[in-house]
Structure 1
C-alpha cells in the first residue's frame, strides 16, 4: 500500500493552488509485519468492544457499567489511532547535502533562565559549523544578558516598543517579534537549555531541498535524567516511532525546540492568517448589517417608497459583498465597492424625521467611541454589542450610516496586536502544534529527523515536571477547542487523524478514573459492571490486551516505554485539570497563565507529597478494596474468580501509580560536592 494522497492549499499572495503529497513509504518486510500486527490488534479490539456494548453490559449497575464500557471504547479508539500512526512508520536515514548558500538564523529563546545556562547554549550555537547568525531572544530584556551576548559577538533581540500595552503571547510573541527583525531563509529554534551539536544544520538542512518542506523536527533528549527516569522526562516512544509514523502521513509536527523552519512558509502563514482574520471581521460586520437593515425595513411606513428603495439597494450591496467574499475576491476591492454602493444609496434618502435622525447619529457616535475604546475595532467588539446594534430601531438613513460605520470600523491594521502579521500561532499557551497544523493546511510538508542533535535539561523536581506537563496538555486542548483538526480545511484525512490522536490522548484522565474505580466497586460492594466473568469474556479481552501490548513492544524496539505508559495514567489529575482549565479559558474566557518551566532544581526541603494527593487517595482506596475483597472471598461472600480478577487489576493499577511515589522521593541528579540545589 504505497499510494499517496495530496493536501491542497492556496498561496495567499498569488492565489495559486499548491499541493503537498503524502510521502511514499517503501513497503519493507518489517513494515509489512508491523501492519499485520496493527490489523490483528484492531480486529481483536473492535471484536471485544462491540461484544461489550451488545452483550455484556450489566444494566442493573449502569452507573459503573456504562462508564467502564465508555472508558474501554476510549482506549480502543486510542489503540486504533496508534495503529494508524504506525501504519506508515517512516525512517528517513541520512539527509541530502545542505543547499548551497542558504542563510540561517539560530534563535535561542529565553525569559528568566540563568544567564550562564543561556550563554552556554548560545555559545554552542555559535559553534555550529554551517554558516549562520546566532541570536538570543531575551523576553526578559535583561541588560546583563545583552552585555554578555554582545561581548561574545552574539545578536540580542528583545521586544520592540510596539509591544507595550499589547498581549505578549509568551514564547510565540517572542518568536514573532524576532521574525520581523531578522531575514535568514531558515530558522533553527532552540530553548535556552538545548545545547546543539555543531553538525545540527549540516544534518538537517538537506531536507529543505524539497521546496515545499517547511519544518524539520529533531528529538528532544535530556542529559540530567537517571537511567530509571523517575519523572518520565524522556519520551522515547514519541520522539521515535510516533513522530516517524506521523512523518509517514506528512504530519510530523513542531515540538517547540530543536527544529529548523523555512521563513517563507512562516511568513506565508502569517499573511494568510492576517487576511482570513480581517475577512472574518468583515463577514461579521456584514451579518450584523443584514439584521440592522431588516429591522429598519420593517419599521418603514408603506408610503416611504424612496427610503424603502434605498434600503433595498443597501441590502443588495450587503448580499453582493458577502458573495464576493465567498468567491475569494480581494478584500480591499470588496469593501471599496461596498462603501461606494452604500454612499450612493445614502444620497437618495431625504431625512423626514430630524429627531430620530439625531438620535441615530448619537448612537453611531457611541458606536465609534466603543470601537475606539476596544483598541482593535470591530475585530474585538464583543458579540453582545453587535446584537444590541442589530436590535435597535433605526431610521433609514441611520441604518445606512450604521452599516457604513460597521464596515469602516474593521481593524485592518489589527491595532489590538503589536504587529498585524503573527506567523507563530498565538491561540494557545504553546505555539508549536497549532503553527505546524496551519502549515500543513497550506500544503507545506514537514520531516522528522530521528537523530539526537541537541541535548537539554529536564525538570529535576516533581513540581516543575507537573507544571510543564500541565502547560503542554493545556496548550494541546486549547488548540483542539479552537481549531479542531477534524474540521480544518486543507488537511488530508490522515493529517486530521494524526493531530487528533495527540489531542485525544490528553482525555485519558477521565478514563483512568473509571479504571481505578471499577475494581474498588466490585471488591467492596460486589457489583460487577459486566454480566459475568465468563470464558467468552476472557477469550475476547485477554488476546486483545496481549496483542496490543505486543504492538507497543515491537514498535518500541528496545526503547523503554513503560515509564511513559505509567505516566499516561498516573497523571490523571493533571490531564483532567488541563481539559477543565482549557475549556474555562476558551469557552468562558477565564485566564490561563503561562508558566515558563524552570531550568534549575527547585527547593526540595521536604518531600512534596501534597502534589500527588489524588493519586495517594486512589492508592489507599485500592489497598483497602483489596483487603475487603480478600476477606469477602475468604468468608465465601464473593466469587473467587471475580475477586482474583479484580485483585490482579488492583495490582496493575498500584504498579502504575507507584511511579508517583518514586517521583516524590526523587531528589534530582547527583550534584557535585559544594554545588547548590
Structure 2
C-alpha cells in the first residue's frame, strides 16, 4: 500500500468517526423541537451530507492508480465510432481525420444520426466509413445516442469499439495505451478522461471535472465500478452483445411469466362459472391449467423459452378447435369484450409488452365463457413480443432506459460479471460548452439520465452487483439529490438572522467542538485525494446548481412514475453570440443571494438593537459568507463570454458545443 493511500484511509476513518459523532449527537441532543419546521430539515440535510461524505470516503478507500498497460496484441480488430447528429460537418471531420490517424490498425466510422448526404460525401471522400439508421428504425423509438450506437453495433464486426463524441479529437496513441488492458478476458470497458481545450484557467463553467476524472473514477475503479462516460472509452463487443442478448431473453421471460400467470387466473375464473353438466368444457379448462403448470415447471428448470411457449400454444390451439363449434355465439361476445378492454383496442393480437397490470387484472377477473377463456389464453401467449415488434432491433446492447445510455449500460455489464478500468491519461481533447445556457442544458440532461436510472434500476437492489458496486453507483445518483439539501443550507441562516429562530438547542462549545473538526477533516480529505488537482470549482457547482439538481429529480420522477415527457432542450451545437449577462438563467440563485445579503443586514440591525445573540449571529454571518462565496461562481458563469485563446497555436478545434448525444 502506498503512503498516499494509507494517509487517505486514515483521513477517511477520522472523517467517518467525526461525522457520525456530530450527526448522532445532533439527532439525539441538539434538535430544537420547538422550531421543528426548520430544525428537522436542517438535521436531515446534515444527515444527507454525512451519507454523501461516507460514500465518497468508501470510494477513496481503494483509490486505484493504474500503471501503463502492456502493448496490445497485434491483429485485434477495432471499430472507432464517432457519434453525430447535427454538428457542423467540419467539426465532425476534424475528429474523423484524427481518428483515422490513430496508429493501431482500425476502421473509422461516422455514425450520422442526421442522415445527411453532405456528411456522407465528406466522410467517404476521405475513406472514412459512414453509417446511418437502417430502414427498420422508421416509425420506431430512436433512443437518441443509444439507438445510434445499437444500430452501428449490428452493422460492424470489430472485436473492440472506441466510442467518441463528435468533438472529441483522439490522440494517435489512444488505442495503443488502452487495448493492453483487455488481455484480461473479463475486461469489458476502459474509460479515459474527458479533457477540454477551450476552457480558460479559471474554468468559470466548471467543465474540466478534475475530481471526477481522477480520484472519483480511480476510487470506483478500485471497487471494479468505474463506469462508462459516453465518450473516450474502449469497449469489448462480446460484452455488449452478451448484455444485449441477456436483456432480450430476460424481457421475453418476464412476458412469458406474466402471460401464464394471467392465463391461469382467466381459466380459474371461467371454471367457476361452469354448470355441472358442462363436462367437456371443464375437461378442456383443466387440461390447459395442467399445461400452464407444466410450462412453468419447464421454465423453472431452465427450459428454452421458445420451445416451452411453442408446445403450450400448440396444445391450447388443439383444445380451442374442439370447443369452437359448440360455443361460437359466446365466443363472439367475449371477443367484443376483449376488443373494448383499455390498452388493447381493436387489434386481436394483445400487445402484452404495453399492457399494464390494471388491464391484465380486468382480464383475469371477468366472467368468461369456456371458449372465451381459451381464446384469451391463446391470445395472451401469442402476444409475447418475441421479436420486439415495438423496437427497430430485438437486441439492444446499449441501455435505452434513460436520456443518457452510459451509466446504465456499464452497471448492467458489471452485474453480468464483467470488469472495467479507468485509465487516467488524457488521450482525447474535446470542446466544452462556452456559455451558461449550453452548460445548464448539458448538466440537466446528465442529471436527468442518472436519476432516471436510479428510479428504474436502483443499483441497491440489482442482482449480480457486489455490495461495493451497488454503493459506488448509488453514490453518484445520491449526489444529484443535493439540491434539496442546498435549500436548507440557504434557508437556515436566513431564518436565524431575520427571525432569531435557532434550529439547534444552543450554539454551545459542545456544538462547535463536534462540527468544526468534522468540517476541517472533510476538507482535508478533498485536498489529499485531489493531489494537486483544482477541485474547488466542482464543490462550488454542487451547491450553486441546486435548481438544476431539483429540476432533474422532479422531471425524472414525473417521467418514470407519471409518464410525463422530460421536455428538455437539445444542447446547442455551436457557440452562441454574446448578448449580455445571462441573468435570466440564474434567477433562483440571484434570489438566494439576495435573501442571504438581506439576512445579514437584518442580523446586523438585530445585534445593534440588542435583540440578537452576538455569537450566534456572527456564526450565521460566516455561514452566509461561505454560501455567497459558493454562489460567486454562478455570477462568473453568467458574465462569461466564451473562450478566447491566449495564443493562436492553442490546439482548439473548430467550434464549441456538444450534441444531445454528449457524454455524461
Question: Same fold per TM (> 0.5)?
Answer: yes
CA distance in 2, matches of 1:221, 1:570: 22
* 1:51 and 2:25 aligned: yes
User: Any idea what SS the aligned residue of 2:161 has?
Assistant: strand
Match in the other structure for 2:642:
668
Q: Matched residues in 1 for 2:630 and 2:156: separation?
A: 48
Separation in structure 2 between the aligned mates of residue 372 and residue 219 of structure 1, nearest angstrom: 52
Cα deviation, residue 305, structure 1: 4.0
The CA RMSD over aligned residues, in Å, is 2.2
* Aligned counterparts, 1:178-193, within 5 A: 178-193=152-167
In 2, Cα distance between equivalents of 1:448 and 1:334: 43
Structure 1, unaligned runs of 5 or more: 1-26
Aligned counterpart, 1:36 = 10
Whether 2:136 is the aligned partner of 1:151: answer no
* Deviation, structure 1 residue 366: 6.5
* Residues 201, 595 of structure 1: alpha-carbon distance in 2 compared, 3 angstrom cutoff: farther
The correspondence of residues 381-392 of structure 1 with structure 2, limited to 5 A, is 381-392=355-366
Deviation at 1:302, TM superposition (A): 3.7
Q: Secondary structure at the match of 1:137?
A: strand
Residues 8-38 of structure 1: per-residue CA shift (max 9 Å, x gap) = xxxxxxxxxxxxxxxxxxx223212211111
Secondary structure of 2:178 counterpart: helix
Residue 527 of structure 1, CA deviation = 0.5
Does the CA contact (< 8 Å) of 1:278 and 1:379 recur in 2? Answer: no
Q: In 2, Cα distance between the equivalents of 1:96 and 1:196?
A: 20
Asked if 1:220 corresponds to 2:197, the answer is: no
**1:644 counterpart SS class:** helix
Residue 654 (structure 1) aligned with residue 589 (structure 2): no
Contact map agreement 1:292 1:399 (CA 8 A) in 2: yes
The equivalent of 1:271 in structure 2 is 245
**Distance between the aligned counterparts of 1:182 and 1:594, measured in 2?**
32
Is 1:547–2:521 an aligned residue pair? yes
Relative to 1, partners in 2 of residues 1:230 and 1:373: Cα closer, same or farther, differing over 3 Å?
farther
Q: Specify which of 81, 97, 100 is matched with residue 126 of structure 1.
A: 100
Q: 1:366 to 1:518 in 2, by over 3 A?
A: closer
1:65 maps to 2:31: no
Alpha-carbon offset, residue 272 of structure 1: 0.7
Q: CA deviation at 1:371?
A: 7.4
Partner of 2:480: 506
Equivalent pairs counted in the alignment come to: 651
- Please say if residues 350 and 379 of structure 2, whose CA atoms lie closer than 8 Å, have aligned partners that are also in contact: no
User: For residue 394 of structure 1, what is the aligned residue in structure 2?
Assistant: 368
The CA distance in 2 between the partners of 1:354 and 1:592, in whole Å, is 48
1:312 aligns with 2:286: yes
CA change 1:373–1:515 in 2 (3 A) is farther
Q: Which segment drifts farther, 29-38 or 262-271? A: 29-38
What SS is found at the alignment partner of 1:201? coil
Question: Does the C-alpha gap of structure 1 residues 374 and 221 become closer, same or farther in structure 2, counting only changes over 3 Å?
Answer: farther
Listed as ranges, the matches of 1:351-366 within 5 Å are: 354-363=328-337
TM-score (norm 1): 0.93
Aligned counterparts, 1:325-344, within 5 A: 325-343=299-317
Q: Give the match's secondary structure for 1:281.
A: helix
Q: Please name the residue that 1:430 is paired with.
A: 404
Task: Measure how far apart 1:437 and its partner are.
Answer: 0.4
Q: What are the residue-to-residue correspondences of 1:14-33 with 2, within 5 Å?
A: 27-33=1-7
Q: CA deviation at 1:135?
A: 0.6
Q: Any conservation in 2 of the 1:520–1:622 contact (CA below 8 Å)?
A: yes
Query: Deviations for 1:454-510, whole angstroms, at most 9, x for unmatched residues?
Result: 000000000000000000000000000111101111111110000000000000000
1:169–1:426 CA contact under 8 A, matched in 2: yes
Give a deviation string over 1:391-427, Cα, whole Å, max 9, x none.
Answer: 3221112112211110011111111111111110000
Q: Does 1:259 align with 2:261?
A: no
> After TM superposition, what 4+ stretches of structure 1 lie above 6 angstroms from structure 2?
365-369, 671-677
Greater alpha carbon shift after TM alignment, 534-543 vs 588-597? 588-597
Q: Deviations over 1:142-198 (max 9, x none)?
A: 111111111111111111111110011000011011111111100000000000000
Structure 2 residue runs of 5 or longer lacking an equivalent are 649-653, 657-664
**1:142 corresponds to:** 116
Shifted more, 245-254 versus 380-389: the winner is: 380-389
Q: Is the 8 A contact 2:454 2:477 kept in 1?
A: yes
Decide whether aligned partners of structure 1 residues 552 and 151 sit closer, same or farther in structure 2, where only a CA change above 3 A counts.
Answer: same
- 308-317 vs 215-224, which moves further: 308-317
Q: What is the deviation of 1:295?
A: 1.6
Identify which range, 35-44 or 362-371, moves more after superposition.
362-371
Any idea what the Cα deviations from partners look like across 1:572-621, whole Å, max 9, x if unmatched? Answer: 00000000000111111111256543342113212210000000000000
For residues 455 and 518 of structure 2, the distance between their equivalents in structure 1, rounded to whole angstroms, comes to 32
The partner residue of 2:211 within 209, 221, 237 is 237
Q: Say which SS state the counterpart of residue 203 (structure 1) adopts.
A: coil
The separation in 2 between residues aligned to 1:118 and 1:432, in whole angstroms, is 21
Q: Single out whichever of 324-333 and 356-365 deviates more from structure 2.
A: 356-365
SS at match of 1:84: helix
Q: Secondary structure at the match of 2:265?
A: helix
Which residue number in structure 2 is paired with residue 23 of structure 1? none
Structure 1 equivalent of residue 384 of structure 2: 410
Q: 1:638 to 1:368 in 2, by over 3 A?
A: closer
Task: Provide Cα deviations, 1:210-239, integer angstroms capped at 9, x if missing partner.
Answer: 011100000000000001000000100000
- Aligned match of 2:60: 86
Q: 1:548-594 deviations in whole A, cap 9, x for unaligned?
A: 11001000011111100000000000000000000111111111256
Matched with 1:565 is 539
| Shift in Å, 1:363 | 4.0
Partners in 1 of 2:152 and 2:118 — Cα distance? Answer: 20
Q: Is the 8 A contact 1:375 1:415 kept in 2?
A: no
1:296 CA drift (Å): 1.1
Residue 376 of structure 1 contacts residue 411 of structure 1 at CA under 8 Å; is this kept in 2?
no
| Residue 302 to residue 67, structure 1, CA distance change in 2 (3 Å) | farther
Partner of 2:417: 443
* TM-score (norm. length: structure 2): 0.94
Q: 1:422-449: per-residue Cα shift (whole Å, max 9, x none)?
A: 1100000000000000100111000000
Correspondence list, 1:460-499, <5 A:
460-499=434-473
Q: Does 1:106 find its partner at 2:114?
A: no
Moved more, 139-148 or 69-78: 139-148
Q: 1:619 aligns with which of 587, 590, 593?
A: 593
CA contact (8 A) 1:458 1:599 kept: no
Say whether residues 1:246 and 2:220 are aligned partners. Answer: yes
Task: State the match for 2:581 in structure 1.
Answer: 607
Aligned-partner Cα distance in 1 for 2:197–2:311: 61
Aligned to 1:452: 426
Aligned-pair distance for 1:96? 1.1
Going from structure 1 to structure 2, the CA distance change for 1:572 and 1:365 (only over 3 Å counts) comes to: closer
Q: Report if aligned partners of 2:344, 2:350 keep a CA contact under 8 Å in 1.
A: no
- What's 2:651 paired with? none
Q: 1:627 to 1:369 in 2, by over 3 A?
A: closer
